[in-house]
Amino acid sequence: MNQVFRSKTALVVGWIWMVFAAYNAVDLTVRYSGPASMVAAVVLGVLTVLVFISCLRPAIIMTEEGVLVRNPLRNVFVPWTGVDEITVSHVITITSGDDRVRCWTPQTTARERAMAVRRGKSATTGGTGGIGGRFRTEPVRSKGEQAAAEMLAGKTHADWVAEQLEERAEAAKRSVAATAMGLSSAAAKEPVTATAGEPASETAKEPATRTGLMKVTWSPSAMAALLATAILLVAAFIV
């Protein structure tokens, strides 16, 4: 089952704009008044495309085979065994060999980072309003709530997503390594017949544990949206 990580704020804003744009598109069609309506339609179309590629499209998708990064204009796929490093600054960066991709979403702002730090300090006090205080300013957390708070202490949404990706990549690498060891053991128990001109030691080779690298492709949906906008612009100039 695929897991999708994205900015909830961007998703909500994007769909609100889509509803607004659809209503205005219908209104412009019904009340078409020549060049003025066409110009308004072009402006609405350009803004809608920008909202689509910047708010609705970007996401990080965890699949069985690897991680798919959907940035505004391009799709980047990295198999789990090809993930070498994942770092988080204000964005998540995935490194595979000599290539790397910066994920458009989720991002971390300075304000969100500061809030995470304060949340981490609160987790260490157990929600008691400070160490040594006489009165409690917050309700006491249950053991489950305290454990969850400590687990997320000082972490932003981007940090948590990066951890999920790292755990999945490490699990996949361990699985591939275990499979490779099993195949090597089975091959060692079976007699190896060397072909003419080929040493027996080279006949049985260990399977590769790295199955693919980063693959970058242009997004068909983003390209189609940009093409539709270009056609609308041309139509506006002609009219």
pLDDT in tens, 28-51: 999 988 888 889 999 999 999 999
pLDDT of residue 211: 47
Q: Is the pTM of this model over 0.85?
A: no
pLDDT of residue 140: 58
**What tokens appear for 229 in the block?**
């906008």
Q: Rounded mean pLDDT of the chain?
A: 81
pLDDT of residue 180: 80
Better-predicted residue by pLDDT, 59 or 125? 59
What does the alpha-carbon distance between residue 38 and residue 30 come to, in Å, rounded to a whole number?
12
Cβ atoms of 1 and 61 within 8 Å: the answer is no
Hey, what amino acid is at 162? A
Give the chain's radius of gyration (CA, Å). 26
Would the pLDDT of 129 be above 50? Answer: no
What does the alpha-carbon distance between residue 152 and residue 154 come to, in Å, rounded to a whole number?
6
pLDDT tens track for 202-215: 434 444 445 458 99
Helix (H, G, I), strand (E, B) or coil at 79: strand
pLDDT of residue 36: 87
Hey, what amino acid is at 108? T
State mean pLDDT over 145-159.
Answer: 65
What does the alpha-carbon distance between residue 64 and residue 2 come to, in Å, rounded to a whole number?
7
* Banded model confidence at residue 22, pLDDT cuts 50, 70, 90: very high
Name 215's bridge partners. Answer: 77
Would the pLDDT of 80 be above 60? Answer: yes
pLDDT of residue 204: 41
